[in-house]
């Protein structure tokens, strides 16, 4: 069973409007409401992959109830710790002429006792997990070392942890020695505060050096998602670069969650690093091509596997492709 | 007790964003969620006026639960008949630079058995009412004569009904002899399908003639809301025109609901027509001046009463002001 920690889930509401009147009244032609937030996207992707998954999250209020009901309808097992404040909503307006506007409510404030309640339940559940993914930003009220505390419990149980977050939560989480951390380029760049992108594009050598630093700080492996440039990994089994045949048109929202899900799924299946990265790139690419964030076409995913290029110890300074 | 029928309530969500990026991600500086839809706006206004009110509505799903919880928090007594489908949301984006965009979900489909359940509860509750307001559009699934059926039950119980709706529901409702119908100009204009506004502005004589026709069709009194031109009433006690001292800057959404509430409140207090119209105009004007739809400042309302001009049997052809 793969556990997925979702401390800041959301109810994602999407309206499709053929031609939005940004100064008037609109009647959406389609309305979708579904569980969201990075953690729940990972859990849904793992569930779609056929993995045995358990979403472990904090939720409250009627939007929290709606998230729990929707997860149940999707067949995603979940263990929800109730909180007093209401789970946030996001509203996305998709204009048929091309623009997409998103409105993200602030997350609910989590009380210390609520997180303690969650952690106690987590300590029990983690012993039944083969891996755990911790994904997304921390909601207001939680200290920046909250993921670090959960990772320490995970590692103590002999279970590998995959961490996908940013800022101080990432920096402190790394020190707790997760099996994999998966920053994207801007999250990695923010850590030491130095540029990884130059006028000539992404400086892959600098990315690899920053990834090595995260390994030195505690992470057992670092996988950096580079958008259309694929994944750059620093592992105990060497450096790797894996990338798709070309840029894919579509919606990049949620592609990083697909990558995290793919890494965790390949990890529990015991695949070596080249295959882990191949699966993660194919899944991320299929997610970009899917019309809605957090979804993917199984055909796109499986047919994409053979198209991924994986290089070990690539020569980065000359450009990897 | 004033009953308010709310067959198509909504959860109104409002986001304030200082400068909206209509093609990007926004983090609202303020988030409001409150019970909405015309009927619940009337109920909230009556509650704010200190009236003993009972909101009687249909609601379902978690958004329906949120509406019920929010009404309870506002202290508005409500009797909710559960429906299978989910209560609609509206999302309003207020751009700090001036534009307001609204996104109104379609209402839930109401099953015949659900409306029968509502009607049975309504039949009991109406006997405790001194007046009933029926306000808003009918949700999908309900026949156009649904208001007419409720008004017949109301009138049979000796209780005056105030109807504020449009289209076929208005035309059929009028035939059930409500005490007051309150169309706005465009709703009145749509009924016979003839223009009431000319190049010279609103043709008040034509409005009065159309109102007389609604009286002939069954309504005991007709009060037409004319926006900044106030109210034009055709009653058994003659024609009346009541209007504020001038146009008020603000948000006209919900002003019609304030007028309906004001008319019902004055009716149960036994006020004569000139005072009913004075109160309704002052309340509608205060609602326009309030920053949020469905709210008003008590000071604006009470200080506005003396500023309303009320004319009996006005000379309309020469312009009333």
Give the range among A82-91, A292-301, B22-31 with minimum mean pLDDT: A292-301
pLDDT of residue A98: 86
Nearest to A101 among B13, B22, B106 (CB): B22
Taking the C-alpha atoms of residue A221 and residue A215, their distance in angstroms, rounded to an integer, is: 6
Looking at residue A15, the DSSP 8-state letter turns out to be E
A22–B22: do the CB atoms touch at under 8 Å? yes
* Rounded Cα distance, A231 and A184, in Å: 9
User: Quick one: closest CA in B to A86, which residue?
Assistant: B66
pLDDT band at A320 (very low <50, low <70, confident <90, very high): very low
* A251 has a pLDDT exceeding 90: no
Contact B250, B241 (CB under 8 A): no
Q: Answer yes or no: A257 catalytic.
A: yes
Q: With contacts defined as CB-CB under 8 Å, which chain A residues touch B59?
A: none
Please report the pLDDT score of residue A247 as a whole number: 80
pLDDT in tens, A257-281: 999 999 999 999 999 999 999 999 9
pLDDT of residue B127: 96
Q: Burial of B198 by CB count in 10 Å (0-12 exposed, 13-18 middle, 19+ buried)? A: exposed
B14 to chain A, minimum CA–CA distance in Å? 11
How far is CA B115 from each of CA A291, B63, B106, B154, rounded to the nearest angstrom?
A: 38, 19, 18, 16
**CA-based nearest distance A30→chain B, Å:** 9
Nearest CA in chain B to A22: B101
Q: What is the pLDDT of residues A11-43, one digit of tens each?
A: 999 999 999 999 899 999 999 888 999 999 999
Question: Quick check: B28 and A105 CB within 8 A?
Answer: yes
The answer, yes or no, to whether ipTM is higher than 0.95 is: no
Measured between CB atoms, which of A23, A31, A105 is closest to B101? Answer: A23
Task: Closest CB to A26: pick one of B31, B66, B101.
Answer: B101
Region B224-237 average pLDDT = 95
Residue A317: the pLDDT is 58
Q: What is the mean pLDDT of residues B109-134?
A: 97
**Using one digit for the tens of pLDDT, what is the confidence trace for B168-219?**
999 999 999 999 999 999 999 988 777 888 888 889 999 999 999 999 999 9
Mean pLDDT across A53-70: 94
> Which residue does chain A place closest to B69, by CA atoms?
A62
Minimal CA separation from A126 to chain B, in Å: 31
> What chain A residue is nearest to B20 in terms of C-alpha separation?
A101
User: Which chain A residues are closer than 8 Å to B69 by Cβ?
Assistant: 62
Residue B317's pLDDT is 58
Helix residue spans in A191-316 (DSSP H): 204-216, 255-268, 273-289, 298-305
- Chain B residues in contact with A101 by the CB 8 A cut-off are 20-24, 26
Q: What is the spatial order of strands in the sheet that B88-95 belongs to? A: A25-26, B100-104, B88-95, B10-17, B30-36
pLDDT tens, B49-76?
999 999 999 999 989 998 999 899 999 9
Residue A84 DSSP symbol: S
Q: What is the mean pLDDT of residues B97-112?
A: 94
B79 to chain A, minimum CA–CA distance in Å? Answer: 19
Contact A260/A286 with Cβ under 8 angstroms?
A: no
| Structure tokens, A106 | 């602030």
Domains of chain B (ranges, CATH numbers): 2-8+39-85+108-312 (3.40.1190.20)
User: How many A/B residue pairs have CB atoms within 8 Å?
Assistant: 84
CB-CB under 8 Å, A63 with B103: no
Residues of B in contact with A66 (CB under 8 A): 61-63
Q: How far apart are CA B255 and CA B272, in angstroms?
A: 22
More confident residue, B228 or B53: B53
pLDDT at A309 over 90: yes
The two structure tokens encoding residue B298:
């008590």
Interchain pair A65, B65: CB under 8 A? yes
pLDDT of residue A191: 85
Does the pLDDT value for residue B320 go beyond 50? no
Give residue A252's pLDDT. 77
For chain B, what percent of residues have pLDDT higher than 70? 98
Nearest to A100 among B23, B28, B99 (CB): B23
Interface probe, candidates B11, B17, B19, B25, chain A, greatest A C-beta count within 10 A: B25
Instruction: Say which of A12, A145, A229, A257 is annotated catalytic.
Output: A257
- CB within 8 Å: A103 and B93: yes
Mean pLDDT estimate for chain B: 93
Best residue in A10, A91, A106, A107 for a mutation probing chain B (most B CBs within 10 Å):
A91
pLDDT category at B232 given cuts 50, 70, 90 is very high
Q: Is it the case that residue A321 has pLDDT exceeding 60? A: no
Contacting B with CB below 8 Å, chain A residues are 13, 15, 17, 20-28, 31, 61-63, 65-66, 69, 89, 91, 93, 95, 99-106
CB-CB neighbors (< 8 A) of A106 in chain B:
27-28, 31
Q: How far is A211 from chain B (nearest CA, A)?
A: 28
- Annotated catalytic residue, options B99, B203, B257, B299: B257
Residues of B in contact with A13 (CB under 8 A): 89, 91
Q: What is the pTM of this model?
A: 0.82
Residues A142-165 have a mean pLDDT of 97
Contact A31 B105 (CB under 8 A): yes
Residue in chain A nearest B17 by alpha carbon: A103
């Amino acid at each position: 069973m793969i556990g997925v920690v979702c401390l800041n889930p959301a109810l994602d509401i999407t309206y499709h409007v053929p031609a939005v009147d940004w100064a008037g009244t609109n009647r959406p032609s389609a309305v979708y409401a579904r569980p969201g937030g990075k953690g729940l996207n990972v859990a849904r992707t793992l569930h779609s992959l056929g993995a045995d998954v358990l979403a472990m999250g904090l939720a409250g209020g009627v939007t929290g109830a709606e998230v729990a009901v929707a997860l149940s309808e999707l067949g995603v097992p979940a263990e929800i710790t109730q909180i007093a404040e209401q789970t946030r909503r996001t509203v996305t307006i998709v204009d048929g002429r091309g623009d997409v506007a998103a409105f993200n409510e602030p997350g609910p404030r989590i009380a210390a006792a609520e997180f303690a309640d969650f952690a106690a339940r987590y300590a029990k559940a983690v012993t039944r997990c083969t891996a755990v993914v911790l994904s997304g930003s921390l909601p207001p009220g939680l200290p920046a070392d909250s993921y670090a505390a959960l990772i320490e419990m995970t590692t103590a149980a002999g279970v590998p942890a995959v961490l996908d977050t940013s800022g101080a939560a990432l920096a402190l989480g790394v020190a707790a020695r997760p099996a994999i951390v998966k920053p994207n380029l801007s999250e990695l760049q923010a850590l030491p505060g130095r540029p990884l992108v130059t006028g000539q594009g992404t400086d892959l050598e600098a990315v690899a050096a920053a990834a090595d630093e995260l390994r030195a700080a505690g992470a057992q492996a670092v996988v950096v998602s580079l958008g259309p440039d694929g994944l750059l990994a620093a592992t105990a089994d060497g450096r790797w670069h894996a990338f798709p045949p070309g840029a894919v048109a579509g919606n990049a929202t949620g592609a990083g969650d697909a990558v995290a899900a793919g890494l965790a799924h390949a990890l529990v299946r015991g695949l070596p690093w080249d295959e882990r990265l191949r699966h993660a790139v194919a899944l991320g690419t299929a997610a970009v091509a899917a019309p809605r964030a957090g979804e993917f076409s199984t055909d796109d995913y499986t047919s994409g596997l053979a198209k991924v290029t994986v290089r070990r110890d690539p020569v980065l300074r000359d450009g990897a492709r």
